[in-house]
Structure 1
Amino acid sequence: MDFNIALILGQDGITSGAIYALLALCIILVFIVTRILLIPLGEFTVFGALTLASIQAGTPSTIVWLVTAFCLVNLCLDAWESLRNKTAFHWKKQLGLVGYCMVLVLCMYQLPLAELPMFFQILLTLAIITPLGPMMYRTFFQSLASAKSLVLLIVSIASHVALVGVGLIIFGPNGAQTRPFSEAAFELGTLSVNSQTLCILFAFVLLIIALWYFFDKTLYGKALHATAVNRVGAQLMGISPIFAGKITFALAAFIGALSGILISPITTLYYDSGFVISLKGFVGAIIGGLVSFPVAAVGSIVVGLIESFSMFWASDYKEIIVFTLIIPFLIWKSLTSRHSEEDGE
């Protein structure tokens, strides 16, 4: 291996690591707020990429009907809970959600999808995928918010399996790639930097800054931060765990879909590609102890670099090498963690 090859591999590793870092941040955010390991996070990534590919091909995607189905299920669940608890049913809110789904359906089937500027294609994709997060939380997890972590993990795995099957029905078995944001390339010495790599790194930095601003400067962000620090104390102060769960799942769906949109021009994604992608983000999250955002981000970059160089030296074993990284950190975590009373509830 010469220096030029090392630079190319380093560029690929940092690009992949930035995507894994975004997914790791989502995993940590959801876990510390809701105690849920979000196994289906990769499905948001794949659904975002394949939906954008369908839009660019001018083919209406039936994923809008999945969003509509989730919306109707949520409406029925809320109506039943309101009737059982004899509380007021928020008709305006529910009708607004149904109207939003109908607008998505009209956009998908009436707009000239392939002729839209890429910016609006991406916006439409994010508008479709992001609501799946809170709707999925309402359907699968809200009634189990106080359940043990093992129960939440089992439900998370089951929802992942279900979404993989739904993805096969919606998108089919064939993979897809999207058009690159730009064909430009920049020369840095002997290294040619693709504009897609710069877009991924720019989005990574921008999202980190946006998340910092959200958690430190906004009321909703501070409420989520309080829930992450002390769930019971936050609930006693009037912060709804349902609200916290839905907004974290919305953020995870948004970032997951955006990650899929960013990597889809440089790799072919299939309906079942999400699990491996999110698992590599999970390795980064474990390196961060499922607590530290900065350590998880650095760990994810390391995972990307190790994966990239492993493809050069031992491509047949690259997945084994990457996932073996998790073992020493799990051992270290088990030896240094302390069992708290809240975790035992």
Structure 2
Amino acid sequence: MDLTVLLFLFQDGVINGAVYALVALALVLVFAVTRVILVSQGEFVAFAALTVSALENGRAPGTIWLLITMGLLAAASEIVLFRKDLGIGRLCRIAAFDIALPVGLAFLTWTVAPLKLGTFANSVVAILLILPMGSMLYRIAFQPIATASVLVLLIAAFGVHFSLMGVGLLFFGPEGVGTTPFSAESFSLGTLVVSAQSILVVCVTLIALSVFAGFFNWTIFGKALRASASNRVGARLSGIPVELAGQAAFTIAAGLGAVSGVLVGPLTTMYYDSGFLIGLKGFVAAILGGLVSFPLTVIAALVVGFAESMFSFWASSFKEVLVFSLIVPILLWRSLYSTSGGHG
């Protein structure tokens, strides 16, 4: 392997790691606040890319029907769950966020889809369609069992994942798609050619990470989420609505997934089930980061991206297996550490 090949592999690793960082941060956030390992995080990524592709072709994406369906299910779930405490305020919120918002976004999408407004506008519409799905998903599948064990929540998460894969096939079809990059420009750095899309991926990821850090360190709402993650009972006793914290965590996760999707769409072919592998690699990074530390998670995501790039060069047939095997030493170490700590 010469230096040029190594530089190209490093570039691919950084780009992939940037995408995995966004996915892994969402997984860590959701797990910290709700104890849910969000297996379906990758679906937000895939659905965003597929939505942009449909809009580029002048078609209304199946995302609108998925959003409306999820809105109706979320409304029904909340009505059943809070049937003994249904007030005018709650009913108005359900009508506004679960019915009026999806329908309004659907009409917006139907209006702009034939206009082919360009990559940026299509990406904004895709993010707007994906963003509310986070809160809806939490209220449909996880809010009713919020106090269950982590194992039960994990089983529910896998059920949600397979359900979303099924509706993804229904609404988007089996065809693979690619999207138009934000810029077709490329730059030469010696023997290395860097595309503007790759630079954009890294820059947007850095901006998102900065906003993420600022949100949790300097805003009241972010501090409330951190409190919910640290101690759910204490947060509830302090007046923090833990249910809203869960919805907020899932909404942020959906937003990060949507941003990842519009960034990665021009770089690879996306299918309705492509999100599964992306989500799993983000999960590997989250595990390497301990499922608690956001900075360590970002570093771990870059390690996963670079490892994947190297494995693709040396043993492409076993690339996925080798990437997933990265968590084995960490799990063994944590198991031995907890065992020795328990006897200490």
- Give the secondary structure class of the aligned counterpart of 1:183: coil
Displacement of 1:65 in angstroms is 1.5
- Give the secondary structure class of the aligned counterpart of 1:111: helix
Structure 2 distance, partners of 1:274, 1:253, is 13
Correspondence for 2:21? 21
CA RMSD for the aligned pairs?
A: 1.7
Correspondence for 2:70? 70
What is the letter of the counterpart of residue 139 of structure 2?
A: R
User: How many residues were matched structurally?
Assistant: 340
Correspondence for 2:165? 164
What is the letter of the counterpart of residue 213 of structure 1?
A: G
Structure 2 distance, partners of 1:31, 1:155, is 14
Correspondence for 2:45? 45
Displacement of 1:147 in angstroms is 0.6
What is the letter of the counterpart of residue 246 of structure 1?
A: Q
Is 2:135–2:251's contact at 8 Å kept on the other side of the alignment? yes
What is the letter of the counterpart of residue 33 of structure 1?
A: V
Displacement of 1:305 in angstroms is 0.7
Correspondence for 2:105? 104
- Give the secondary structure class of the aligned counterpart of 1:193: strand
Structure 2 stretches lacking a partner, 5+ long: none
Displacement of 1:295 in angstroms is 1.2
Q: Deviations over 1:253-289 (max 9, x none)?
A: 0101110110110100111111111111111111111
Displacement of 1:95 in angstroms is 2.6
Is 2:186–2:194's contact at 8 Å kept on the other side of the alignment? yes
- Give the secondary structure class of the aligned counterpart of 2:147: coil
Displacement of 1:71 in angstroms is 1.3
Structure 2 distance, partners of 1:207, 1:102, is 28
Q: Deviations over 1:137-156 (max 9, x none)?
A: 00000011111111000000
Correspondence for 1:263? 264
Output the TM-score relative to the length of structure 1.
0.95
Which runs of structure 2 are paired with 1:217-296 in the superposition (5 Å)?
Answer: 217-296=218-297
Is 1:78–1:89's contact at 8 Å kept on the other side of the alignment? no
Structure 1 distance, partners of 2:21, 2:82, is 40
Structure 2 distance, partners of 1:154, 1:64, is 27
Structure number with the higher helix fraction is: 2
Residues 106 and 339 of structure 1: is their aligned pair in 2 closer, same or farther, counting only changes over 3 Å?
Answer: farther
- Give the secondary structure class of the aligned counterpart of 1:182: coil
Correspondence for 1:58? 58
Correspondence for 2:179? 178
Displacement of 1:62 in angstroms is 2.3
Correspondence for 1:343? none
Q: Deviations over 1:273-330 (max 9, x none)?
A: 1111111111111111111111111111111111111111111111111111110001
Structure 2 distance, partners of 1:177, 1:114, is 19
Moved runs in structure 1, 4+ residues, more than 6 A? none
Sequence identity (%): 42
Structure 1 stretches lacking a partner, 5+ long: 341-345
1:306 aligns with 2:279: no
What is the letter of the counterpart of residue 18 of structure 2?
A: A
Structure 2 distance, partners of 1:154, 1:71, is 23
Displacement of 1:84 in angstroms is 2.6
Displacement of 1:227 in angstroms is 1.1
